[in-house]
Structure 1
Amino acid sequence: MTFTTRFKSHFLFALALVSTFWSIEAQEKSVEFSGKVVDKATGEPVAYATVMAADNNTKTAIVGTTTLEDGSFSLKTDASNYYIEVSFIGFEKTRIEPPTTQNSKIDLGVIAISEDAQQLEEVVVEGEVSKTVFKLDKRVFNVGKDLSSTGASALEVLNNVPSVNVNIEGQISLRGSQGVQVLINGKPSIIASDESNALGTITADMIDRVEVITNPSAKYDAEGTSGIINIVIKKEERKGLNGSVSVNTGAPDSHSVGISLNRRTEKFNLFTQLGAGYRELPNDLESRNTDLINNTTILSNGEEFRNEAYYNFVLGTDYYFNPTSVLTLSGNFALEIEDQPSTTNFASINGADVTTAEWERNETTEATNPKFQYELQYKKDFQGNEDHTLLFSALGNFFGKDQSSEFTDTTISGTDNDDMQLTRTDFKEAVFTFKLDYTKPFTDELTWETGAQYVLNDVSNDYEVQNLINGAFQVDPGLTNIFEYDQKVLGVYTTGAYEGKKWGVKGGLRLEQTNLTTFLINTGEDNSQDYNNLFPSFHTSYKFSEKVSLQAGYSKRIYRPRMWDLNPFFNIRNNFSIRQGNPELLPEFTDSYELTSIFFIGKTAVNLGVYYRYTTDIIERVATFENNVSTSRPENIGTNKTTGIEFNTKYSPAKWLTFNADFNYNQFTREGTFENTVFDFNADRWSSKLMGKVKFPADIDLEATGNYRSSYQTVQGETNDNLFMDLGLRKKLMKGKAILNLSVRDVFASRISENQIAQADFEIYNRRLRGRFVAFGFSYGFGKGEAMQYSGGRRR
């Protein structure tokens, strides 16, 4: 079965699973209310007031909407025991009992609401500044007016969340670790995909809160140790046509244009995004391989580029069967066309420090990368309680790479090193994720969750190397093979929670069954792994007062080796520094414990936490050395015990000045043996981030972020520290509808990655510098849209 056929079959299967809901929903009767909300004192329409139908027993919202600019609204519900409530900032809430009638449409007429000075004062104080609060098993960052009114994107909001950082390529890290899973409204989404840029098109104004889960419960996928970030989108309805346009330019070359559109009606919400751009990513590289036995050294330095033209198209729709049921179908197609020129200069030096040979290696690489995704989701909110939900989602992802490279070695002096090589890569990957979640609150304090997830990952990588021998190219059998990778993971879970006003507890258990097979077709090597694992979790919290809360948690996690960890064949850009995969890698397992507290000192929230993690079969890259060629390959090497402390806070000494500070320190103990070599040692590492934001007159904001990451010991050597700074300047125009952005990443070009390996018979040194990036952008929002930035799809 081909990849295309398999992709279609999974899509049709997912579609069939939700089709049974359609006939049920079509039979439910609903009542549609309409009316107009006005200011009682002036008679003027009140735009964007909230109108909701709420359950009479629980007082919770069943469905809601917002008024249009003329104060009018329309609201549907199929509930039987409810009331209507109208509210707006600074006004008293107005409750309306629905009239008894058999009509399917009811006109409530003109609803006049009165100002409430006391409520207005309270709301402004509460909603002005974004802040963090503790829940049972997570920290919740509520997006306040200081962010929601700036036109910032979701990525910029995340950069304001304590413990979270977003780098120059839009990669998100949590407490300094990448691999964090980003969810939208609690589920995987095209918007949050690693291969999409769409997070840059969600504005702060659309975000209700950001949930940071550093120690996930059994409800979530057990994969990874960095944690989960869940972005919760506001439920308000923005009827009509909304959208934004964005134009960006920068140096090194980075140019893009994008447009986002959204059209909402009573039944449909249609959304689309189109974007195109071109960008360059240069890298300055330096390496030194020293053979201590023969006293010989190979030096290399050069510059490599990854130039890329890209095109992106997103189309999707939400269909509302009724106010409590919605079906979402969306798709994303992207195309990248790559050009990767590079030039590397080599020198061979003997023991007398004399250069015996010099040569130059030039690379010409072209690649075409098609990507497409689909998302199908059905969500049902049960009557009487919006927290009583059923959610089914299916996410499909396909990525391909058709790449060819030509490497030419030209002798400059000394020994003849003229050579030529050709490589070819035909890569295909398909990933399908099916998820079903059910949440049932029995009371305001007791909640039960259960669900299942099935993930299929199917990969094929056809890699070939040809060497020029006697004027003709011949296939190198030692570097040529077809690697096939197939992984299936089935997980089921259940959790139970009690959350009172002061104290709460939550326990859960997740069972995952993993089936992994890898196969090297040319050599017939295969590796199969089939294992079942239980992943328990436990969380508790206690609120001592309004100013002090405490949270503790435990979970068991897993890291399954990725395809690139397992695939032994890689690019030979530098044939003296080779990276390989290991098909026999085993997964890592981690027991994670955390104790975290939050203190409110005035208007400042201080988070302080300690954590401990014990990891078995930890994966480390081990370098071997022969004929001045270093080969790096991942291996399972023993255990790692990490004990750490984390501190973060946000402080505003004045309305125009805000500071965010993060600090993380950990001490770790490594124990392990590989090929009769003992890798036992103790070490530590730490990192810190300080961000300052200054508000100037004329709606101008300046933001500066400094980062420091300490050096730390590895199993064979050391990784050096680095210190760097980013700057950003934003100017709002047209009452925030338009935004001018200027950003400078790595202002002093000091973000240098250096590492060295020191062994008894060899030494290796590597250095990489990306340099300074400057970007300038203009964004404009129309309709009820906000200005937002389009930054292009993420590289892969």
Structure 2
Amino acid sequence: MRLNTKLLAAAAALVLPGTALAQAPASPGVRPPAKPEAATAVEGVTVTSDATAMRTSIDRRSYSVANDLSARTGSIADALRNIPSVEVDVQGNISLRGDANVTILIDGKPSGMFSGDGKADALQQLPADQIDRVEVMTNPSAAFRPDGTAGIINLVTKKTRKAGGNGSVRLNASSDGRYNGGVSGSFNQDKLSLSGDVGYRHDAQKFRSSSERATRALATAPWLESIQKSLAEGDGDSLNLRGNLDYDLDAKTRVSGELRYRGMAMDMDSTETFQGKTAAGIVNRSYQRASNFKMDRDNAEAKATWRRQFKGSEHELVASVGYEVTNSGRDLRAFTDNSFTADEYETSSFSIDQSQTNVALDYSRPLGGNAKLKTGFDLDLGQSNDYDNRGARGPTPGGLTVDPSRTNRFVYDQSVYAGYVTLERPFGDVTVQGGLRVEQVQIDTDQITSRLKNSNDYLRAYPSLFVSYSLSDDQQLRANFSRRVQRPQAQDLNPYRVYQDPFNFRAGNPDLKPQVTDSYELGWQYRKGQAYYLATAYYRQSTKGVTDVVRDLGGGVLLTTKENLGESRNGGLELVANGRLTSTLTYSLSGNLFWNEIDAANLGFARTRSGTAVSGRGSLNWQVTPADFVQISGFTSGKRLTPQGHREPVQMLNLGYRRKVSDKLSFVVTAQDALDTFRDAVITDTPTLRDRTERLPRIRALFFGLTYNFGGGRPRPQGFDFDTGATPVGG
């Protein structure tokens, strides 16, 4: 992908609303103005229009990022690091309550940009300034897909219904060469609503990593030590386009169309050194390696929706059809200067072509006794994934020959046919919601190079149950259950070895089975004014969990592959507290005590391994004056158990200041990773392998930004007023 050429197309997403902005703001037509607390369903996700920092309903918690200054200048990963229960490591890998099997949605629908191998890159490169709220569903109802044993994170994008033309311009730059910006526009008149966004982000990136390793063939043999160090520097760019049209055919019927494009590219140069020793401590393996790595990923979506409202509250039928294409590629050029063997030039490339068609129909209606019924079907028709790996090496750049060990093609096709029903009904102070989702899954894989074909078809049911009990106007008890599944990623099923560097390979496992998790929660909630307290005890039991396993191939070469665990169990206690200390000082705190037990006997390890971890995050917000706002936020995550070792603790502290110049203009200054503590260390410790791999990204920087709102109507609130104590929807 060449982003410089695609910038020429950026205006396409704003052509219609941009033209409309030149007109005088029109008075509202037949479309009624949105009420402050009105809720609208966006593809099965309830989105409300107020700016309450946190809201809850029977099956989710919703957090506003309007007042998160790091989200104003940073990436989606930066915004998610401040959300309770959510962790994002230095490589962009996301987890929810310690479980990395998280499904990410955008406005209630999955996106190819946040699936597969590119999810971590997308979280780190795509800007967060168009995210309005983050919804966390640790136990989603049967109305949602069961994918992701940890639960669902739904990114709700910003929308406006103000009459006439409106828009905003955002610009941010950092002290280390990073910058981003965007333009948003909308126009609403009578039956027509148009909106569009353009966003661009540039990251100057720098990573250091080191690996200290010791291997031996037998548990009684001497250790063979090695050390590997690398430095990578380069640039990453991303471009986002969105255009949306809503048209009211009549007072009860609306048709909508939306186009989205997200693209990103990365160009990195790296240097690497390696040194290996014999049992006597004599160096017998050594090299220096210089390489260039390029990556690009393009995702385009088109979607059409028809919505019909009927008599009665929340009585409607919604039909939608969508088509999505994702193309990504990675290219590597390297030269290895070996001390004990011949020098080598090498190239490798990896490309993925994905496409998917989705058809959905959702129907909801009120029933007697204030009951609510929701039902529908969700069809993923022919999700196709084509993986192409190519590699060559030789003594000179002109003498490269194809390397069969690095060249293969793998095709993965999946179709999912699902139907669901949920029924919610109050019984006095008790509200119960039960649901059932049934899915027929068809998976076909073809390792074309090896001529290996596999198929896996299965029918499964996924129940959910939610119960809430109102102790008083301010307090509630909640209990819930859901069954979730984590299907192996397409590349996880590819048995062919993928080359990473001379001493590291990855390979999938075609025999992987889906992980199934039963999740239970019991919680207490208190809310009065702006004081909000939440305590949730949770427990999850999983079978056939998919995990990384490292194996020694000899000579210091490691193979990382995937295996199914026998069983794993985890649980914990999560505490959340939001409130006001003074009339100008508010706080948000959360902590999580997490326990994990892994039965890895089928992998040759001890019968069970268990451990506990503590994590926490918090922010302090100070409204110094009506125009000046200061924020301190940070998080810490304790030592976490892995099947073959552990991850070491991680911390980060961020600072922010915002100056409101006028109702239309504001300036922001943020300090990211102010104490320079953000890093990742993974420890592997088995009878035949000891390894410590540490990664240190360059995150620390100062950001300077501005936002300017233009057009008619009242500008979007910037979250300065802490005196509004709106109650949460469903709370």
With the shorter chain as reference, the TM-score category is: 0.7 to 0.9
What is the CA deviation profile of residues 215-234 of structure 1, one whole-angstrom value per residue up to 9, with x for unaligned ones? Answer: 11111111112323557789
Q: Verify: 1:441 aligned to 2:363, yes or no.
A: no
Identify the residue that residue 8 of structure 2 maps to in structure 1.
none
Q: Verify: 1:699 aligned to 2:623, yes or no.
A: no
Q: Is the 8 A contact 1:244 1:786 kept in 2?
A: no
1:392-791 matches, within 5 Å, as: 392-411=319-338, 414-416=339-341, 418-443=343-368, 445-455=370-380, 456-468=382-394, 472-500=399-427, 502-568=429-495, 572-600=499-527, 603-625=530-552, 626-674=554-602, 676-697=604-625, 699-735=627-663, 737-774=664-701, 775-783=703-711, 784=713, 786=716
The residue type paired with residue 378 of structure 1 is W
Q: Is the 8 A contact 1:162 1:660 kept in 2?
A: no
- The 2-side partners of 1:162 and 1:561 are apart by 27
Question: Which of 60, 81, 88 pairs up with 1:138?
Answer: 60
Q: Is the 8 A contact 1:244 1:787 kept in 2?
A: no
Q: Determine helix, strand or coil for the equivalent of 1:298.
A: strand
Q: Determine helix, strand or coil for the equivalent of 2:575.
A: strand
Q: Determine helix, strand or coil for the equivalent of 1:75.
A: coil
- The 2-side partners of 1:250 and 1:236 are apart by 29
What is the CA deviation profile of residues 247-279 of structure 1, one whole-angstrom value per residue up to 9, with x for unaligned ones? Answer: 222244322332112122222212222233432
Identify the residue that residue 253 of structure 1 maps to in structure 2.
177
**1:377, CA displacement in angstroms?**
1.5
Question: Which of 275, 285, 288 pairs up with 1:360?
Answer: 288
The residue type paired with residue 138 of structure 1 is R
Q: Is the 8 A contact 1:129 1:146 kept in 2?
A: no
Q: Determine helix, strand or coil for the equivalent of 2:581.
A: strand
**1:592, CA displacement in angstroms?**
0.6
**1:287, CA displacement in angstroms?**
0.7
Q: Determine helix, strand or coil for the equivalent of 2:405.
A: coil
Q: Is the 8 A contact 2:375 2:421 kept in 1?
A: yes
The residue type paired with residue 582 of structure 1 is N
**1:425, CA displacement in angstroms?**
2.3
The 1:191–1:392 alpha-carbon spacing in structure 2 relative to 1, beyond 3 Å, is farther
The residue type paired with residue 654 of structure 1 is T
Q: Determine helix, strand or coil for the equivalent of 1:527.
A: strand
Identify the residue that residue 339 of structure 1 maps to in structure 2.
267
Q: Is the 8 A contact 2:31 2:190 kept in 1?
A: no
- The 1-side partners of 2:668 and 2:91 are apart by 17
Q: Is the 8 A contact 1:606 1:650 kept in 2?
A: yes
Q: Determine helix, strand or coil for the equivalent of 2:491.
A: helix
User: TM-score w.r.t. structure 1 length?
Assistant: 0.76
The 1:382–1:305 alpha-carbon spacing in structure 2 relative to 1, beyond 3 Å, is farther
The 1:481–1:352 alpha-carbon spacing in structure 2 relative to 1, beyond 3 Å, is same
The residue type paired with residue 560 of structure 2 is S
Question: Which of 196, 205, 208 pairs up with 1:272?
Answer: 196
The 1:192–1:153 alpha-carbon spacing in structure 2 relative to 1, beyond 3 Å, is farther
**1:559, CA displacement in angstroms?**
0.4
The 1:777–1:280 alpha-carbon spacing in structure 2 relative to 1, beyond 3 Å, is same
- The 2-side partners of 1:242 and 1:609 are apart by 41
- The 2-side partners of 1:405 and 1:611 are apart by 44
Q: Is the 8 A contact 2:236 2:266 kept in 1?
A: yes
**1:438, CA displacement in angstroms?**
0.5
The residue type paired with residue 30 of structure 2 is L
- The 2-side partners of 1:676 and 1:167 are apart by 28
The residue type paired with residue 728 of structure 1 is G
- The 2-side partners of 1:593 and 1:501 are apart by 24
Question: Aligned residues, how many?
Answer: 668
- The 2-side partners of 1:70 and 1:401 are apart by 42
**Worse-superposed segment, 598-607 or 338-347:** 598-607
Identify the residue that residue 215 of structure 2 maps to in structure 1.
291
What percent identity do the matched residue pairs reach? Answer: 24
**Worse-superposed segment, 672-681 or 560-569:** 672-681
The residue type paired with residue 402 of structure 2 is V
- The 1-side partners of 2:487 and 2:162 are apart by 42
Question: Which of 152, 163, 168 pairs up with 1:228?
Answer: 152
User: TM-score w.r.t. structure 2 length?
Assistant: 0.83
1:34-433 matches, within 5 Å, as: 73-75=28-30, 130=52, 132=54, 134-139=56-61, 162-163=84-85, 174-175=96-97, 177=99, 180-181=102-103, 186-187=108-109, 200-202=128-130, 212-229=136-153, 237-292=161-216, 293-385=221-313, 387-411=314-338, 414-416=339-341, 418-433=343-358
- The 2-side partners of 1:88 and 1:704 are apart by 29
- The 2-side partners of 1:591 and 1:747 are apart by 40
Q: Is the 8 A contact 1:137 1:551 kept in 2?
A: no
The 1:536–1:162 alpha-carbon spacing in structure 2 relative to 1, beyond 3 Å, is same
- Cα RMSD of the aligned pairs, angstroms, is 3.6
The residue type paired with residue 280 of structure 2 is A
The 1:254–1:231 alpha-carbon spacing in structure 2 relative to 1, beyond 3 Å, is closer
What is the CA deviation profile of residues 202-245 of structure 1, one whole-angstrom value per residue up to 9, with x for unaligned ones? Answer: 475xx7xx654321111111111232355778997322211111
- The 2-side partners of 1:672 and 1:693 are apart by 45
**1:546, CA displacement in angstroms?**
1.6
Q: Determine helix, strand or coil for the equivalent of 2:30.
A: strand
The residue type paired with residue 592 of structure 2 is N
Q: Determine helix, strand or coil for the equivalent of 1:383.
A: coil
Q: Is the 8 A contact 1:131 1:605 kept in 2?
A: no
Q: Determine helix, strand or coil for the equivalent of 1:281.
A: strand
What is the CA deviation profile of residues 62-119 of structure 1, one whole-angstrom value per residue up to 9, with x for unaligned ones? Answer: xxxxxx9999543269xxxxxxx99999xxxxxxxxxxxxxxxxxxxxxxxxxxxxxx
The residue type paired with residue 461 of structure 1 is Y
The residue type paired with residue 778 of structure 1 is L
What is the CA deviation profile of residues 441-473 of structure 1, one whole-angstrom value per residue up to 9, with x for unaligned ones? Answer: 114621111111112421111111112158732
**1:549, CA displacement in angstroms?**
0.6
The 1:680–1:418 alpha-carbon spacing in structure 2 relative to 1, beyond 3 Å, is same
Q: Is the 8 A contact 1:747 1:772 kept in 2?
A: no
The 1:392–1:86 alpha-carbon spacing in structure 2 relative to 1, beyond 3 Å, is closer
**1:715, CA displacement in angstroms?**
1.7
- The 1-side partners of 2:171 and 2:628 are apart by 19
Q: Is the 8 A contact 1:152 1:203 kept in 2?
A: no
- The 2-side partners of 1:153 and 1:342 are apart by 25
- The 2-side partners of 1:128 and 1:333 are apart by 28
Q: Determine helix, strand or coil for the equivalent of 2:511.
A: coil
The residue type paired with residue 261 of structure 1 is G
- The 1-side partners of 2:131 and 2:329 are apart by 35
Q: Is the 8 A contact 1:219 1:493 kept in 2?
A: yes
**1:545, CA displacement in angstroms?**
0.5
**1:547, CA displacement in angstroms?**
2.5
The 1:713–1:165 alpha-carbon spacing in structure 2 relative to 1, beyond 3 Å, is closer
- The 1-side partners of 2:375 and 2:640 are apart by 41
- The 2-side partners of 1:320 and 1:190 are apart by 30
- The 1-side partners of 2:262 and 2:35 are apart by 43
**1:756, CA displacement in angstroms?**
1.6
The 1:574–1:701 alpha-carbon spacing in structure 2 relative to 1, beyond 3 Å, is farther
- The 2-side partners of 1:303 and 1:530 are apart by 45
